[in-house]
Amino acid sequence: MTYTVDSMPEADLALAEELGRQLRIDSIRASTSAGSGHPTSSMSAADLLAVLVARHLRYDWDNPTEPGNDHLIFSKGHASPLLYAVFTATGVITEDELLTGYRRFGSRLEGHPTPVLPWVDVATGSLGQGLPDAVGVALAGKYLDRLPYRVWVLCGDSEMSEGSIWEAIDKAAYYRLSNLIAIVDVNRLGQRGPTELFWDLNAYARRAQAFGARVLQVDGHDVAAIDRVLADAGSGGGDEPTVVLARTRKGHGFSEVEDRENWHGKPLPSEMATRAIIELGGERSLRVRGPVPKPSGLPVRPDAGDAKVRLPRYELGAKVATRRAYGDALTALGVRRDVVAMDGEVSNSTYAEQFAAAFPERYFEMFIAEQQLVAAAVGFSVRGYVPFASTFAAFLTRAHDFIRMAAISQADIRLVGSHAGVEIGADGASQMALEDLAMMRAVHGSTVLYPSDATSAAALVQAMAERSGVSYLRTTRGAYPVLYAPEVEFPIGGAKVLASSPDDQITLIGAGVTVHTCLAATADLAADGVHARVIDLYSVKPIDTATLVAAASETGGRLVVVEDHHPEGGLGSAVLEALAAAGQHDFVVTHLAVTEMPGSGSPEELLDAAGLGAAGVAQAARALLAFVVADADASEE
Amino acid sequence: MTYTVDSMPEADLALAEELGRQLRIDSIRASTSAGSGHPTSSMSAADLLAVLVARHLRYDWDNPTEPGNDHLIFSKGHASPLLYAVFTATGVITEDELLTGYRRFGSRLEGHPTPVLPWVDVATGSLGQGLPDAVGVALAGKYLDRLPYRVWVLCGDSEMSEGSIWEAIDKAAYYRLSNLIAIVDVNRLGQRGPTELFWDLNAYARRAQAFGARVLQVDGHDVAAIDRVLADAGSGGGDEPTVVLARTRKGHGFSEVEDRENWHGKPLPSEMATRAIIELGGERSLRVRGPVPKPSGLPVRPDAGDAKVRLPRYELGAKVATRRAYGDALTALGVRRDVVAMDGEVSNSTYAEQFAAAFPERYFEMFIAEQQLVAAAVGFSVRGYVPFASTFAAFLTRAHDFIRMAAISQADIRLVGSHAGVEIGADGASQMALEDLAMMRAVHGSTVLYPSDATSAAALVQAMAERSGVSYLRTTRGAYPVLYAPEVEFPIGGAKVLASSPDDQITLIGAGVTVHTCLAATADLAADGVHARVIDLYSVKPIDTATLVAAASETGGRLVVVEDHHPEGGLGSAVLEALAAAGQHDFVVTHLAVTEMPGSGSPEELLDAAGLGAAGVAQAARALLAFVVADADASEE
């Protein structure tokens, strides 16, 4: 019995059941042909997906960018064979691509799904992330797009032990996301054995209900039951997100592996695959599409409007914290209707509160849940919004895995971390970001910015709005003098030379607060007749290599890099990597960073103790003056 | 009315109530004198702590290392004034230290508690970590120490939105930790306004019960009720962890701030402090200690026993994955009775399963909850065990904030990340650790190891057991030839020169899998008559600067660094930082790393595509041969 798209009378339940078998068979075929992958984790969820795709998911497969489309996110990304089998069944990829592309070099059918595929919103494969991402998409749908699309998420049972799942359900309930449906494939078996809760659907139900979700339970291999439950789940009735708990069997449909341990992440050997396909009724080529949403008539990306952004202007010399400038600039950017902001319950410290007060309809409080904070930004990015997410820089480390995955998701998100370094003072080491530059620089395609004053901070916030990929702004707790006039431009990838003369004997390189200590050190050095150049390296990545090369060449190859960060991976590494990549070698760097575990104290005490104060910088500079490179140019004589 | 330690008849409830007032007053005095801190967050929990410390906590304040002591962890670390007021009341610190030390430079009374203080187990201040850490301590108590101590944790209500809290309660219930008591100070107010759940204690109760905890509710300002509840909580009856939900008022006891917004993290101005102290009945100097546990008679640290560790031996040239060597060596180390292991549900990939099979009583499955995985290791470290925690290296990013805090906690933990880099092949980018070296290097005091073969991997696992601080082993998925004989030693901080001659014109520096591609490249280069030195930089941090300096000097200053990691913060940065710190400049580095977003493919395809295969290394080496430094030594002529 074979249906085709032409002869298909309607996507009835018999067809859905057939489709479930096909999805299993194709999951087996794809993974066996690739020699790796997760067929059994696909087979448990195949009936759920068959009914969903054939009868409930509203999706125009020819127009994946249609804003009215439902969203389908595989939080259990390892079930990629199933997802790609779905794509095959809808006809958007060919069976040939499925069988020859899956997990192959250069193919878009990667081991875990990524948005290289136009039907995939976010990259998954690090468990517990798809659902938090989906919360962001659903927030956009309910509060900003105001479109009736639903966000369907396939979760694995193993990933329910990730705390981020509960951050997501909590926020989904808090924001009454009745457009969000998590379907949990409770197949009882994790990678190396049974899950914590086995098939105790009631235990899952109690948890999800306690966190505010509506829970529906179903036999995940009874297509009629699935159909009823998904109809209910997708109805959007009520005020709660829905969690569908589906009792399934891993490897369902093939008796040799069904509900057996030690079959996680293993393709079937080809003889077994042959037997499995026979047991499943033989190969078939159903082409099935479900309902298509009414065209929204909206542009693919939300309209920013044409209101002109008027950045704040600061008086030279006035003391303004860069975190405050962030709040000011974000609020100025708020005239763009596509800008959204969120924060991790510290908006009165990060100054995101200013945006929240001015544009409450586009501000989303994420409370103390940094993983969900970043995931929400990723979700807003899926719908084309321009999200800014802020918290203390130290606490962005909580979301490192999400930030890493955001890059794979091709998400355009802006992260803002306040209270960086020992400069924060009395709160102590737990609140001091001393690892964030290393973390953010190593993210693929990231932009890392660390302004020293309010003018540059505001300009960079505006630049971030236009920036693709993951961008990061590091702000400072304390207020320091404004160094730049409002007209000055701060291109990403640039740097500013703040003090310079033809007689410069040394270059002091800082960013953020250390620009100020470097400037203070020049006064000290000048008293000894030493001319020091000062570079404000506000763009840590990409970096202004030309300015660094020129400084190395023009100041006798003597560079002092000063950063309020641990010594590894931050500003110092960035400078060394840039000069190395430029083939430079006639220079020596003295690197000042936070090498000892700091405690409490005033910002000045802690900066001085770390050797990052003006005296420490001047001392390091004097010590370096003895260095003479072999072929240094004339400027130093 | 003033009690003193001498005249104190018994720690009755009237005294506890008085103590509660004193703890409030001292929290106010400490923070007002410091000019910063969180008095109101301390005042809400003061009655809870007063009753706990006076009547329930079994603690020998003169012997904080007594293994039988209960543990007291402030998960809401910002309530440090309260904790230090408790220490003052027990007499272990003086009132003078409290008032002149709190949050001051050089003082041990830091803004958030750290184990600089002997009565503090772990550093807190990043919310949602104290409870997961406590799970580790409670696991040690119940399953390894087998001592009747309890682990009491003070949680804030705001931090209940962190997913890690639910990972902790889930694991506490799974492991039936009836010795763990979380006291949640539900004061309704977070930093910038009300919490998500206000005073809905029933909502918290439903969640905690659903996750398997026993829940007790109490008026957090009724000392008699608190006393009954804590007696029940600490009884250890039943099989579940206990969550005490205490309804409290932030700033309780001073009408001008009690239950008011905008008083988070703000000390009272001195006039207000004076009025508050009057309203609270005036200063007093109670000295109160509660029950002392029966001495356990056990050594401070668990006994390792004296069984000799016999490391696995591998045949030269045999293909063995370093992850398998990890499992072998960990199992060999298991004869030490203080070694414990845990894993994030991937023990059949990391090979921790070998230890689990051999020593099931010292293996703890943490399922897919990497934050709790690392926190459990921290908790075991508190009790002096030697914990090894493993998962995919990529997923350790999930626990970055915990790893950062582990360093502040002075925890001795060993982390092992498998499946590093594009070498993993078909699974794709989500499973590839390409940021872990940057992350781990930037952790204060960390050790970062990346062996290329099974012999060195096994030796380094043994070295990690003796290492203090946070140490990290990066292992590789694939099997590669054993390069070293079993007798070879691998000191942390060392490197191996694998190919070397007086005619070396260039140095190839790799670690892990790239050692093998560098070795393969030498054959290619030798065909052109080019002599290349190869360095196995198995110790990424600390790094063998002398070997690098010698190589730069002896091979014409030509260095090629090859790493299966993003370009920022990893091996390349480590080499550049080391040479810069050594004042070296007559060298040029070509840095090969993963610059493009990888997809799926075979390990070879992906390494080649990233330019990290033998051909890519050889090509980079040839291109670098043109480089001649000004004062290169004779060896290159």
3-state secondary structure B214-242: EEEEEECCCHHHHHHHHHHHCCCCCCCCE
Q: B166-193: per-residue pLDDT in tens?
A: 999 999 999 999 999 999 999 999 999 9
Residues B113 and B40 occupy one common structural domain = yes
**Do residue A432 and residue A568 come from a single domain?**
no
One domain for residues B438 and B528: no
Residues A84 and A141 in one domain: yes
Cβ proximity of A554 and A635 under 8 Å: yes
Task: Say if residue B356 is in the same domain as residue B281.
Answer: no
B277 & B323 share domain: no
Report CA torsion sign: B515, B520, B522, B524.
negative
Mean pLDDT of B462-477: 98
The pLDDT of A600-604, averaged and rounded, is 98
Which CATH number fits the domain that encloses residue A599? Answer: 3.40.50.920
A104–B541 C-beta distance less than 8 A: no
Q: Catalytic residues of B, which ones?
A: 370
Sheet strands side by side (includes A470-474): A363-365, A339-343, A386-392, A413-418, A470-474, A447-449, A539-541
Confidence grade of residue A238 (pLDDT, cut at 50, 70, 90): confident
B348, B435, B628, best to mutate vs chain A, most A CBs in 10 Å: B435
pLDDT at A626 over 90: no
Provide the H-helix boundaries in A280-385. 322-333, 347-350, 352-358, 370-382
Q: Which two tokens stand for residue A337?
A: 């209707």
The verdict on A604 and A464 lying in the same domain is no
The helix/strand/coil state of B469 is: coil
CB pairs under 8 A between A and B: 358
CA–CA gap between residue A619 and residue A535 (Å, rounded): 18
Contact criterion met (CB < 8 Å) for B163 and A371: yes
The token pair at B113 is: 């508690």
**Residue B380: C-alpha distances to residues A262, B57, B377, B398, B468 (Å):** 30, 20, 5, 20, 14
What is the C-alpha to C-alpha distance for residues B29 and B283, in angstroms, rounded to an integer? 10
| B303, part of any domain | no
Burial label, A4 (beta-carbon count in 10 A; 0-12, 13-18, 19+): exposed
> How far is the alpha carbon of B13 from chain A, nearest alpha carbon, in Å?
34
- pLDDT tens-digit series, residues A6-54: 333 446 999 999 999 999 999 999 999 999 999 999 999 999 999 999 9
Do the chains contact at A163 and B161, CB–CB below 8 Å?
no
Give residue A634's pLDDT: 40
Answer yes or no: do B599 and A166 touch at CB < 8 A.
Answer: no
Nearest-angstrom CA–CA distance, A365 and A376: 10
Measured in angstroms, the CA of B614 and the nearest CA of chain A are apart by 18
**Statement: residue B343 has pLDDT above 80:** yes
Q: State how far the Cα of A567 lies from the Cα of B352, in Å rounded to an integer.
A: 32
The one-letter amino acid code at A462 reads Q
Distances in whole angstroms, Cα of residue B94 to Cα of each of B85, B89, B265, B268: 10, 9, 24, 22
Determine how many CB atoms are found less than 10 A away from the CB of residue B584.
Answer: 18
Q: Write the residue in B210, B395, B541 that is nearest to A126 by C-beta.
A: B395
Domain boundary among A243, A272, A288: A288
B624: nearest CA partner in chain A? A583
**pLDDT recorded at residue B1:** 31
Residues across chain A = 637
Q: Is residue B490 situated within a structural domain?
A: no
Same domain, B368 and B512: no
Do A237 and A352 lie in one domain? The reply is no
CATH code, domain with A265: 3.40.50.970
> A148 preceded by cis ω (within 30°)?
no
Closest CB to A192 among B161, B345, B398 = B345
| Residue of B209, B212, B216 lying closest to B232 (CA atoms) | B216
**Which region, left, alpha or beta, applies to residue B140 given φ > 0 means left and ψ of -120 to 50 means alpha?**
alpha
Query: Mean pLDDT over residues A370-376, rounded?
Result: 98
CA angle in degrees (0–180, nearest 5) for A228-A233-A234: 100
Beta-ladder partners of B198: none
> Is residue B388 helix, strand or coil?
strand
Across the interface, whether the CB atoms of B585 and A587 are under 8 A apart is answered: yes
Instruction: Please list every residue in chain A whose beta carbon sits closer than 8 Å to the beta carbon of residue B430.
Output: 77, 111-112, 114, 123-126, 405, 408
Which of B456, B481, B506 is where one domain is finished? Answer: B481
Maximum pairwise Cα distance, chain A: 92
Please identify which residue in the block is written with the tokens 């509506």.
A214
Q: Rounded CA gap, B550 and A542, in Å?
A: 32
Kindly report the average pLDDT of chain B as a whole number. Answer: 95
Which one, of A467, A354, A346, A461, lies nearest residue A396 by Cα? A346
Which positions in chain A touch B606 (Cβ < 8 Å)?
Answer: 105
What is the SS3 assignment for A525? helix
Laid out side by side, the sheet with B151-156 consists of: B71-74, B151-156, B180-186, B242-247, B214-219
Are A600 and B439 in contact (CB < 8 Å)? Answer: no
pLDDT at A630: 53
The reported pLDDT for the residue numbered B7 is: 36
Q: Supply φ then ψ for residue B67, to 5 degrees.
A: -60, -25
Which H or E run includes A84?
helix A80-90
Of the candidate ranges A237-241, A412-416, A428-432, A555-559, the one whose mean pLDDT is the lowest: A237-241
**Contact residues on chain B for A586, CB-CB shorter than 8 A:** 585, 630
Number of domains making up chain B: 3
Domain boundary, last residue among A446, A481, A516: A481
Mean pLDDT of chain A: 95
Chain A residue numbers with beta carbons less than 8 Å from the beta carbon of B568 are 438, 441-442, 541, 569, 573-574, 577
Question: A472 and A446 share a domain?
Answer: yes
The rounded distance, in Å, linking the Cα atoms of B262 and A349 is 12
Residue B390 CB coordination number (10 Å): 32
User: Which of A437, A585, A606 would you mutate first to test chain B, the one with the most B CBs within 10 A?
Assistant: A585
In a domain, B486, yes or no: no
In a domain, A314, yes or no: no
With CB atoms and an 8 Å threshold, state whether A123 touches B427. Answer: no
Residue A631 predicted with pLDDT over 60: no
Least CB-CB distance to B568: which of A104, A569, A601?
Answer: A569
| Residue A114 with chain B: CB contacts under 8 Å | 428-430, 599
Task: Work out the pLDDT band at A633, boundaries 50, 70, 90.
Answer: very low
Beta carbons of A588 and B591 less than 8 Å apart: no
Q: With CB atoms and an 8 Å threshold, state whether B591 touches A600.
A: no
pLDDT for B630 equals 53
**pLDDT reported for residue A629:** 64
Residues A414 and A377: their CA atoms lie apart, in Å, by 8
Please indicate, yes or no, if residue A294 is contained in any of the structural domains: no
- A471-to-A338, A369, A540, B260 alpha-carbon distances in Å: 17, 20, 11, 37
Asked whether residue B298 is domain-assigned, the answer is: no
Q: Which residues contact B466 (CB under 8 A, 6 or more apart)?
A: none
B215 within some domain: yes
B214, β-bridge pairs: B242
The pLDDT of residue B629 is 65
Pairing of strands A447-449, A539-541: antiparallel
Omega before A542 within 30 of 0, i.e. cis: yes
Q: Which domain holds residue B125?
A: 2-288
Contact A338/A385 with Cβ under 8 angstroms? yes
Q: Do A196 and B367 touch (CB under 8 A)?
A: yes
* pLDDT confidence band for B4 (50 / 70 / 90): very low
Query: Whose CA is closest to A433, among B61, B246, B466, B444?
Result: B444
What's the average model confidence in pLDDT over A257-273?
A: 97
Residue B259 sits in the same domain as residue B212 = yes
Query: Which residues on B lie below 8 Å from A426 (Cβ)?
Result: 34-37, 103, 111
Q: What is the C-alpha separation between B475 and B461, in angstroms, rounded?
A: 11
SS3 assignment, position A467:
coil
Q: How far apart are CA B50 and CA B62, in angstroms?
A: 19
Q: Is the pLDDT of residue A200 over 70?
A: yes
Nearest Cα of chain A lies from the Cα of B308 at a distance, in angstroms, of 31
Residue B139 identity: L
Q: Is the CB of A576 less than 8 angstroms away from the CB of B576?
A: yes
Question: How far is residue B78's CA from residue A281's CA, in Å, rounded to a whole number?
Answer: 63
- Summarised one tens digit per residue, pLDDT across range A205-223 is 999 999 999 999 999 999 9
Looking at residue A236, what is its pLDDT? Answer: 80
- Are B434 and A444 a contacting pair at CB < 8 A? yes
Q: Distance (Å) from the C-alpha of residue B327 to the closest C-alpha of chain A? A: 15
Residue A53 lies in a domain: yes
Residues A123, A115: contact at Cβ < 8 Å?
Answer: yes
Task: Output the CA angle B81-B84-B85, nearest 5 degrees.
Answer: 80
Nearest to A585 among B36, B565, B586 (CB): B586
Identify the helix (H) or strand (E) that includes residue A86.
helix A80-90
**pLDDT tens, A149-190?**
999 999 999 999 999 999 999 999 999 999 999 999 999 999
pLDDT at B633 over 70: no
Q: Counting beta carbons within 10 angstroms of the beta carbon of residue A504, is it exposed (0 to 12), middle (13 to 18) or buried (19 or more)?
A: buried
The encoded tokens of residue B102 equal 């709190």
Contact present, B379 and B73 (Cβ < 8 Å):
no
State the Cα–Cα distance between residues A425 and A197, nearest whole angstrom. Answer: 45
**Residues whose CB is less than 8 angstroms from the CB of residue B571 and which lie 6 or more positions away in sequence, other chains included:** B437, B450, B509, B510, B511, B537, B540, B561, B562, B563, B565, B593
* Nearest in space to A449 (alpha carbons), one of A486, A376, A441, A378: A441
DSSP B75-117: SSGGGHHHHHHHHHHHTSS-HHHHHHHTT-TT-SS-SS--TTS
Residue with token string 């950063």: A563
Task: Identify all chain B residues contacting A112, using CB atoms and an 8 Å cutoff.
Answer: 427-431
Q: What is the mean pLDDT of residues B495-517?
A: 96
In one-letter notation, the amino acid at residue B439 is M
User: Is the pLDDT confidence value at B85 over 80?
Assistant: yes
CA torsion, ordered A543, A547, A549, A550, to nearest 10 deg: 180
| Higher-scoring residue by pLDDT: A537, B1 | A537
User: Contacts of residue B575 in chain A, CB cutoff 8 Å?
Assistant: none
> In terms of pTM, does the model score above 0.80?
yes
Q: What is the tens place of the pLDDT at every residue in B268-318?
A: 999 999 999 999 999 999 999 999 999 999 999 999 999 999 999 999 999
Domain co-membership, B462 together with B543: no
